[in-house]
Amino acid sequence: MSVMTEQPTRVAAIDCGTNSIRLLVADVDPRTSTLRDLERTMTVVRLGQGVDRTGQLDPVALERTLAQTRAYKARIDELGATRVRFVATSATRDASNRDAFFDGVKQILGVVPEVISGQEEAALSFRGATGVFGGVYPGPYLVVDLGGGSTEIVLGDNAPQGAWSMNVGCVRMTERHMRSDPPTPAELEGARADVRAALDEARRHVDLSRTETLVGLAGSITTVTALALGLDRYDPARINGAMLTPEQVQEAARALYTGDRDYRAGLGFMHPGRVDVIAAGALVWSEVVARVCAEVAGAGRTLSRVLTSEHDILDGIAWSLVD
């Protein structure tokens, strides 16, 4: 009698945010708690362009996003993924014409896109990040997923214990405040005021002072990390798991939000689609790190570990397909 061996499940996870759309195709094996990448890719489509101002998805941005979804569909079919989940975050939560987006995605993929809450977004990000770091560094972990339209924070050990979504992100803060090149002191202060107000509210829901290990996710944070590491090109292997001091984060962030566009575009690791929003993204990350350090210090401890993860909500979405 032969014994059938259960095989890992091949899944496809799509994360559509305010600034970019990303695809992960992976073999996931819950028995061994392993996730093996077959394809992990990102394209800047700027779906959230103007949403903060108009309340609607821009038709051109919508078509860019649907065109990339078609390209991802071809790759999913080529690799033979059997389960697919499409998650949309901040931009579509805020758009009055999001049904046009939903219908287009369903026609292409055959699955209904899910507009998840900030709380679920935070939980998926936590699952993706701590699946890699859990047990290596001490908890509680504060996982920060800095997106285009919102920033999710979630605190926990093996599972989320507190989470909050802040309506500050690299695209939203750029459109609200960053109109000069480089940003003026007044523009930077305006953005800081928004982020600090959001953090004032966040600390009412999440006990930042309990943080032992701060983990940052997503493009703004990985870009700050690349600069702090002195990279001349984007190297995921070096960025993933990189441990920085808060001072290193602040120095790199300051260079990005005070430099001009030519400086940012000239950095070898800079994605072209991030050049015009990274100043705001770096400022948001700078403020988050400063606030967490202050809260931890207020509890009589020192925050010394700021980790960067290449594993984030995409990994969490993939795990959700088999969990």
Predicted confidence (pLDDT) per residue in 32-66, tens digit: 778 889 999 999 888 888 777 888 888 899 999 99
First-last CA distance in the chain: 30
Higher pLDDT, 254 or 29: 254
Q: Which of 57, 51, 41, 45 is nearest to 20 (CA)?
A: 45
Give the other-Cβ count within 10 Å of 4's Cβ. 5
pLDDT of 2 reads 40
Whether omega before 272 lies within 30 degrees of 0, making that bond cis, reads no
pLDDT of 6 reads 65
- Residue-wise pLDDT for 258-274, tens only, equals 999 999 999 999 988 89
CATH number among 3.30.9.10, 3.30.420.40, 3.10.20.600, 1.20.1090.10, domain 9-115: 3.30.420.40
Share of the chain above pLDDT 70, in %: 96
Give the other-Cβ count within 10 Å of 144's Cβ. 26
- Residue-wise pLDDT for 118-143, tens only, equals 778 878 888 888 876 656 788 899 99
Cα–Cα dist 225/216, whole Å = 10
Say whether 119-313 and 9-115 share the same fold: yes
| 20 alpha carbon, distance to own chain's centre | 10
Contact 111, 94 (CB under 8 A): no
Contact 211, 140 (CB under 8 A): yes
- Residue-wise pLDDT for 271-310, tens only, equals 888 999 999 999 999 999 999 999 999 999 999 889 999 8
pLDDT of 5 reads 45
Instruction: Look at residue 112 and tell me whether its pLDDT is greater than 80.
Output: yes
Higher pLDDT, 33 or 29: 29
- Residue-wise pLDDT for 138-178, tens only, equals 889 999 989 888 898 999 987 788 999 898 999 899 999 99
Q: Where are the domains of the chain?
A: 9-115, 119-313
pLDDT of 282 reads 96
pLDDT of 134 reads 58
CATH number among 3.40.50.300, 3.30.420.150, 3.30.70.270, 3.40.390.10, domain 119-313: 3.30.420.150
Q: Which of 323, 178, 200 is nearest to 258 (CA)?
A: 178
pLDDT of 48 reads 80
Please give, one letter per residue, the 3-state secondary structure of the chain.
Answer: CCCCCCCCEEEEEEEECCCEEEEEEEEEECCCCEEEEEEEEEEECCCCCCHHHHCCCCHHHHHHHHHHHHHHHHHHHHHCCCEEEEEECHHHHCCCCHHHHHHHHHHHHCCCCEECCHHHHHHHHHHHHHHHHECCECCCEEEEEECCCCEEEEEECCCEEEEEEECCCHHHHHHHHCCCCCCCHHHHHHHHHHHHHHHHHHCCCCCHHHCCEEEEECHHHHHHHHHHCCCCCCCHHHHCCCEECHHHHHHHHHHHHHCCHHHHHCCCCCCHHHCCCHHHHHHHHHHHHHHHHHHHHHCCCCCCCEEEECCCHHHHHHHHCCC
- Model confidence band, residue 99 (pLDDT cutoffs 50, 70, 90): confident
- Is the model's pTM score more than 0.75? yes
Buried b (16+ CB within 10 A) or exposed e, 159-191: ebebbbbbbbbbbbbbbbbbeeebbeeebbeeb
Contact 94, 133 (CB under 8 A): no
Higher pLDDT, 237 or 4: 237
Q: Which of 66, 64, 60, 122 is nearest to 90 (CA)?
A: 122
Task: Give 87's strand partners.
Answer: 15, 114
- Residue-wise pLDDT for 168-226, tens only, equals 999 899 999 999 999 999 999 999 999 999 999 999 999 999 999 999 998 899 999 99
